[in-house]
Amino acid sequence: MMLWRNSAISLFVLVSTLTHFSTTLAFPSYGSLAGLSQREVHELVARLPAVLPPPPPGPLTSNGTKLVYDRNHPWKPLRKGDIRGPCPGLNTLASHGYLPRDGVASPSQIITAVQEGFNMDSGLARFVTYGAHLVDGNLVTDLLSIGGKTKKTGKDAPPPAIIGGLNTHRVFEGDSSMTRGDDFFGDNHSFNQTLFDQFVEYSNRFGGGSYNITVAAELRHRRIQESIASNPEFDFTSPRFFTAFAESTFPYAFFVDGRISNRTSAALDMTNATLFFRDSKFPRDFWRPPAPTGAIGIIEIFSAYPIAPGRNVGAVNTYTPDPTSADFGNFCLLYTNFVNNTVKSLYPDPKGVLRRNLILNLRYFYGGIAGGGCEEIFPYGQI
């Protein structure tokens, strides 16, 4: 089962997703329920508009290339209160109206958008989207913020609780991003010009002015080494171990015009890279990939500079492997640890609507990898 060699890995980047959690007491409609006491959860659930999570959208009926920057999806600048986060792809989809422009969406909307806009493989879209939603979404109202704190979230909960959304460190977002800084330095989600300049530098040095798989391997290695040398809290265990290598494939897998049919040699020029990463904008006359797509070349990127999952231990340059973390040789451990450890720790004894919606979301989450050899887990029973 070489799950990593097919498209199934790509959505580890939309996880974006599995080790931390978000909480709030002054509860927004899309804040996380995770971390609240049982009494607080019961009180909040009772006054929230409960939604029965619908089954996820299926694969696209017409899944070839097509124009996505069209008259129905114009780019629009941010309005006051609109939310954007660490993922350039989701930011772009929101700025073109494939997602709600305010940056708050249901899992079904996200899955539809990444397929329509980027022709992302349906199973991958399900796995990462529901992974993110289970940790940082509102499981009762079925809504998720693609970013972080805004006025819409209401009053913050006291520490250590945080407001829900994909900016949450070690969830969707993780260390050693290509164009976002490590959380340790204070801003883990905004476009970082210094890091983008390095992206351009490496594209010029190793890719002749474009970002390709060779550039991806070199830049991924560079960013890991930089975090080891500068971030005493650097964490490169699962799921970030997977998402970091997966996101390295995204610029040439998803951001290159779909009329270029040879995807293995596709390369992203720096003009279009600037539009996606900085401006959250499709290039004019942009067509999506010609077939459902995943993280092409992820194993090649990892194999160029192999590294074991691990973390710095309280100081820079103390990187220590973690044998309990999932790696490319044990994908199912990522799934089981997420369900048994992360989700279960956030929701130890859910009742009523919350339990029902957890069961359904976990079912949809597993559906993204069904057939991949992993045994399905039912921590809250079945319905």
Residue 155 has pLDDT above 50, yes or no: no
Q: Which of 290, 286, 285, 268 is nearest to 277 (CA)?
A: 268
Specify the pLDDT at position 133: 85
CA dihedral 115, 119, 122, 124 (to 10 degrees): -110
Token readout for 210 is 């474009």
Mean pLDDT of 222-234: 98
Share of residues in the chain with pLDDT > 70 (%): 81
Token readout for 146 is 């693609």
Q: Is 58 left (phi over 0), alpha (psi -120 to 50) or beta?
A: beta
Q: Which of 6, 237, 239, 17 is nearest to 123 (CA)?
A: 6
pTM for the model stands at 0.86
Where are the extended beta strands (E) located within 130-196? 144-145
Q: Which of 158, 11, 202 is nearest to 90 (CA)?
A: 11
Mean pLDDT of 358-370: 96
Residue 26 has pLDDT above 80, yes or no: no
Specify the pLDDT at position 9: 39
Share the mean pLDDT of the chain. Answer: 85
Report CA Rg, the chain. Answer: 19
Domains plus CATH for the chain?
58-368 (1.10.489.10)
pLDDT tens-digit profile of 269-307?
999 999 999 999 999 999 999 999 998 999 999 999 999
pLDDT tens-digit profile of 69-126?
999 999 999 999 899 999 999 999 999 999 999 999 999 999 999 999 999 999 999 9
DSSP labels for 241-256? HHHHHHHHHHHHHHSS
Where are the extended beta strands (E) located within 19-141? 104-105
Specify the pLDDT at position 166: 85
Residue 18 has pLDDT above 70, yes or no: no
Position 11 confidence tier, pLDDT thresholds 50, 70, 90: very low
Residue 162 has pLDDT above 70, yes or no: no
Where are the extended beta strands (E) located within the chain? 104-105, 144-145, 210-211, 235-236, 268-269, 310-311, 320-321
pLDDT tens-digit profile of 316-328?
999 999 999 999 9
Which residues face 269 on adjacent strands? 210
